[in-house]
Amino acid sequence: MNKMVLCFGICNGFQALIKLGLVPYGEILEMNADMPTLTYNDIARHQSKLVTTKVVSKLSPWFNKIELGEEFVIPISHGEGRFVANENVMQELIKNGQIATQYVDMEGNATYDIEYNPNGSVYAVEGITSKDGRILGKMGHSERSYRGNILNVPGNMDQKLFESGVEYFK
């Protein structure tokens, strides 16, 4: 992949990236049973709400304008957003710093609690990257959290993803 390429998929875009293998592998691969995927939410229905996510890796240039550990309130809206992967894959993602963001509770802890992890994602994964970080896939709709689009809700909503993407090419 060209070093100047960045790719970002939100929600259904994340589904496309993961089904192709671009996240977490960085290349298009034939799907097999050992690969991570996105599937139906644990509650077997659509979820649409605000959640808190935490940036747990800055491997990706998409996160260049924020701090590691920063938390963001972002909207989600999906019926098939549960990230699943076997333990070997999860350990590899952790080792490589490819888990970019996680759903967290009010104390900032990754959780399986459906109130905070709306789909039941393993390890509370909300977003992952390719090994080099240039491909990012995430479920939360960061593009819906801009300039006062969501009013009267406390919390930081601007992940500065798009600013970081533009800055990457300067």
**Any idea what the Cα angle at residue 128 is, between residues 39 and 143, rounded to 5°?**
85
Q: Is 7 designated active site?
A: no
Cα 29 to Cα 49: distance, rounded to the nearest angstrom: 33
Q: Is 143 designated active site?
A: yes
Q: Which is the catalytic residue, given 70, 80, 141, 163?
A: 141
Q: Which is the catalytic residue, given 7, 11, 78, 126?
A: 11
Tokens of 122: 């393993």
Helical H runs in the chain?
12-20, 22-25, 87-96, 161-168
Instruction: Output the DSSP codes for 77-120.
Output: EESS-EEE--HHHHHHHHHHT-EEEEEB-TTS-B---TTTSTT-
CA-based nearest residue to 113, from 124, 128, 127: 124
* Residue 147: Cβ within 10 Å count: 7
Q: Which is the catalytic residue, given 80, 92, 143, 163?
A: 143
The catalytic site residues sit at 11, 141, 143
